[in-house]
Amino acid sequence: MPSKSKTYYGLLAFFLFINFGGLALGGWLMNSGPTSDWYLNLNKAPWTPPGWVFGAAWTSIMLCFSIYLAKLFLVDNTTNQKIIYGLQVLFNVSWNYIFFNQHQVLLALVVILLLTAIIFIYFFALSKKVGKWRLLLLPYMIWLCIATSLNMYVLIHN
């Protein structure tokens, strides 16, 4: 039987691969995304951060999220957890395509709200299973609140 630390590091490697792969796929799906004429001509929120912040934020978020998931799946590796995680990946990756590629701002808002709900469920509903490890979700939660407000601003002001 593998040791807990060996299993943890295997899970961590798995989640790092999936999460950063999801970021890469999402980036590819958004086509020219933030440099497209469509995006550049949008009326964006005054609090929209500069472009480099997005890459830095997502790198930090996915590192923290992968560490969190490895701990969660070490103590609760159930079918329900796999489904919730799969939905999180789907919503995270598809938002880029829906918003940047298809310009479906309302649908993108629905998707990011669903993604936010999942991350908040991870934080609140599973807190007893992971304890203080849930604090690793705070960067993701904060970023999703900002991103949701940016998406909503574009929907209302364009």
Amino acid letter for position 102: Q
Query: What average pLDDT is seen over the chain?
Result: 95
What mean pLDDT is predicted for residues 125-129?
91
Query: Residue 2: its pLDDT value, please?
Result: 57
In the DSSP assignment, the letter for residue 33 is: G
Q: Is 77 exposed, middle or buried (0-12, 13-18, 19+ CB in 10 A)?
A: exposed
Query: Residue 1: its pLDDT value, please?
Result: 47
Query: Half-sphere exposure of 8 toward its Cβ, with a 13 Å CA cutoff?
Result: 8
Query: Residue 31: its pLDDT value, please?
Result: 85
* Domains, the chain, with CATH or none: 4-157 (1.20.1260.100)
User: Computed over its alpha carbons, how large is the radius of gyration of the chain?
Assistant: 16
Q: Is 89 exposed, middle or buried (0-12, 13-18, 19+ CB in 10 A)?
A: middle
- Position 112 pLDDT exceeds 60: yes
Query: Residue 3: its pLDDT value, please?
Result: 66
What mean pLDDT is predicted for residues 35-40?
93
What mean pLDDT is predicted for residues 79-105?
97
- Position 35 pLDDT exceeds 70: yes
> For 31-45, 81-95, 96-110, 129-143, which range has the lowest pLDDT when averaged over its residues?
31-45
Can you spell out the DSSP letters for 94-133?
A: HHHIIIIIT--HHHHHHHHHHHHHHHHHHHHHTHHHHGGG
**Most confident of the ranges 27-31, 125-129, 133-137:** 133-137
CA separation for the pair 126, 64 (Å, rounded): 16
CA separation for the pair 73, 7 (Å, rounded): 10
Residue 84 or 32, more confident: 84
